[in-house]
Structure 1
Amino acid sequence: MKKESVPVRNSLLLLLTATIWGVAFVAQSVSMDYIGGFTFNAVRNIIGAIALLPVIWGLGKTRSASEQTPSDRKTLITGGICCGILLCLASNFQQFGIKYTTVGKAGFITACYIIIVPVIGIFLKKKCSPFIWIAVILSLCGLYLLCLTPGEGFAIGKGELLVLICAVLFSLHILVIDHFSPLVDGVKMSCIQFLVCGILSGLPALLFESPDLAGILAAKVPILYAGVMSCGVAYTLQIVGQKGMNPTVASLILSLESCISVLAGWLILGQNLSGREIFGCVLMFGAIILAQLPQKNPAA
């Protein structure tokens, strides 16, 4: 009974993560009117790390410090640094790729990590049932209907290439989290990854963008949402939610970010959904449900 409740709880945490990320797409776009991409990613990630310090302090009061060995600390720092480097690369490739392509194409290509994760997983000996592969194909069809308009060409240009690299990096990020999350404290690892990502994004920001306080303050609302909610809350929920989850199933749930961003545009900004887009959403939700169905899995 308890064993079955864990995947359900984790799935809900990942769904909440996708929801926060979907809504945060608006903040990510608006911020570029005031500050550069590296500056945005640097500030939002530093805020994300700071936002987690009270949580770590609160959890630390309820746990014994002697429980953590030097080996555990080394694993935690290694995991945090690896996740931080991949997060930095992926988020910056995405941020600049969006400048050179349409939002629809960027959303579709980014969410292609749902097919990249199981493909990479094959080489890491992570098995997937036929149900999950069917769910992946359904999701890709849904994303195509949702993100790309009929008759729109799909030539690979500079923007598409940058976002495709971003999708590969996010796939690696999911698999690295899958490796480290069962071994370490998820909140602490999340804090370390934001600090690493913020510092690494800050270096090119200082070299190429000349960030100023006025621009940062002008973008304070999207930065705070992206920092506290998208980074501090959502990426931590991802690390906690992925514990014990099949990384392909996790990537399918997280891919709902694209679907939720369209729904958020409809509900918050009054942007209407076409029948094609509604059908795309239905296919994606169907894929997630299919991936969650109990399956015979004799060889785990």
Structure 2
Amino acid sequence: MNRKQARAEILLLLAALFWGLAFVPQKIAMAHIEPLAFNAWRFILGGLVLVPLVYWLSSRRALQPGEDGGHRVNHSWRRCLPGGAVLGFWLFLGAALQQAGLLYTAAGRAGFITGFYLLLVPVIGLSLGHRTNRWTWAGIGLALVGLYWLADFSAEAQLIGDLMVFASAFVFAVQVLSADHFVRRYDALRLACIQFLVCGLLSAVASLLVEQPTLSAAADAAWPIAYMMVFSTAIAFTFQLLAQRDAAPSHATVIMSLEAVFALAAGWLLLNELLTARELVGCGLMLAGMLVSHYGNHTGTHH
């Protein structure tokens, strides 16, 4: 493993940790603020936090012109805008579904169900000509059984929340494939910044249309917004985009699957969420499915 690859995988591990822990403030925030309003605050502020970082790194790049590898033309806001807008739309849709789902389901459960996007990526990739091997299908089968065990069909409200989070996992899979396409052509930080601002603005418009957002509600949810703004949005998504260029796909998927484990641990330690034996079996099968899916897959093009 070379140094670039090792750095990329450390960045992915930190992103998985920040995202896993994020389900706790996301869940807590729902007691104070509506889902779309929460996303508007976290993504707009997260995007604005990135702006000075983009210019600082750009100034460093200007001092070291050889590092651009001849692709300096793609380090412009105008060039990155279309790709960032596409990513922002998918992020808006996925985040809205996930955040609304957390009104009805537990943080730890939501973390595991969201992790299903790692298995959906290669499935959706089939339509783009990506190859998928038998390990992927075996992993998907295991994870689907785990998802069935995790679901509680007797609790209608929780089931609705689970289904919304599952829908968000599908959207996040599309977002990952889109990011994989754009990050190889355009500046990762500018893409991240644009996608957050577009996502935040779409969330704000949607909130104004279907919710009753207030400043007092945002103030009540100040610390969850702050965590999501800095760690889950500005840092974690940026780490993902930066790492996606150099991480080995088979390693990256295993690392990202740890997000579900971090979410479960955070829900247990910080929110006193306890899972039944059946739910733990479901989580275990889903995690096994994520790992098996990429056990023999060392030639994939995405994660």
Compute the TM-score of the two structures, normalised by the length of structure 2: 0.80
Residue number in structure 2 paired with 1:177: 179
Contact 1:34–1:219, Cα closer than 8 Å, also in 2: yes
Q: Residues 256 and 284 of structure 1 are in contact (CA less than 8 Å); yes or no, is this contact kept in structure 2?
A: no
User: What is aligned with 2:73?
Assistant: 69
Deviation, structure 1 residue 157: 6.1
**Following TM superposition, by how much is the alpha carbon of 1:238 offset from its aligned partner in structure 2, in angstroms?**
1.2
CA distance in 2, matches of 1:87, 1:121: 18
Residue number among 76, 79, 96 corresponding to 2:83 in the alignment: 79
Q: How many residues are paired up? A: 296
Q: CA deviation at 1:218?
A: 1.3
SS at match of 2:219: helix
1:99 aligned counterpart, secondary structure: coil
Match of 1:98 in 2: 102
| Mean CA deviation greater in 259-268 or 105-114 | 105-114
1:35-46 residue pairs with structure 2 within 5 A? 35-46=33-44
**Residue 46 of structure 1: how far off its partner (Å):** 1.0
Aligned equivalents of 2:217, 2:166: Cα separation in 1: 29
Q: CA deviation at 1:18?
A: 1.5
Aligned residue for 1:17?
15
In the aligned structure 2, how far is the partner of 1:47 from the partner of 1:106? Answer: 24
Letter in 1 for 2:165: V
Q: 1:154 and 1:33 mapped to 2: Cα distance?
A: 20
Which residue does 1:114 correspond to in 2?
118
One-letter amino acid matched to 1:162: M
**Is contact 1:174–1:247 with CA below 8 Å preserved after alignment?**
no
Q: How does 1:99-178 map to 2 (within 5 A)?
A: 99-101=103-105, 106-138=110-142, 147-148=150-151, 158-178=160-180
Residue 266 of structure 1: aligned partner = 268
Percent identical across equivalent pairs?
36
Rounded Cα–Cα distance in structure 2 between residues aligned with 1:124 and 1:298: 13
Q: Which runs of 5 or more structure 2 residues have no equivalent in the other structure?
A: 66-70
**Under a length normalisation based on structure 1, what TM-score does the superposition of the two structures give?**
0.81
> Residue 101 of structure 2 aligns to a residue in which SS?
helix
Distance 2:112 2:76 in 1: 38
Q: Is 1:198 the equivalent of 2:196?
A: no
**CA offset at residue 16 of structure 1?**
1.6
**Partners of 2:93 and 2:274 in 1: how far apart?**
33
Once the two structures are TM-superposed, the CA of residue 200 in structure 1 deviates from its matched residue by 0.5
- Counterpart in the other structure of 2:68: none
Letter in 2 for 1:98: L
- Give me the whole-angstrom Cα distance separating, in 2, the residues matched to 1:233 and 1:211: 26
**Partner amino acid for 2:53?**
V
CA distance 1:293–1:162, shift in 2 (3 Å): closer
Q: Which amino acid aligns with 1:183?
A: R
1:53 alignment counterpart: 51
CA distance in 1, matches of 2:33, 2:155: 31
Find the partner of 2:230 among 223, 228, 244.
228
The Cα offsets for residues 277-297 of structure 1, whole Å up to 9 and x where unpaired, read as 666666666666666767675
How far has the Cα of 1:244 moved from its partner? 4.5
CA distance in 2, matches of 1:59, 1:90: 29
In 2, Cα distance between equivalents of 1:120 and 1:246: 20
Aligned partners of 2:194, 2:125: CA distance in 1, in Å?
25
Q: Is the 8 A contact 1:16 1:234 kept in 2?
A: yes
> What is the alpha-carbon root mean square deviation over aligned residues?
3.6
**Residue type of the alignment partner of 2:180:** D
SS in 2 for 1:69: helix
CA distance in 1, matches of 2:284, 2:10: 18
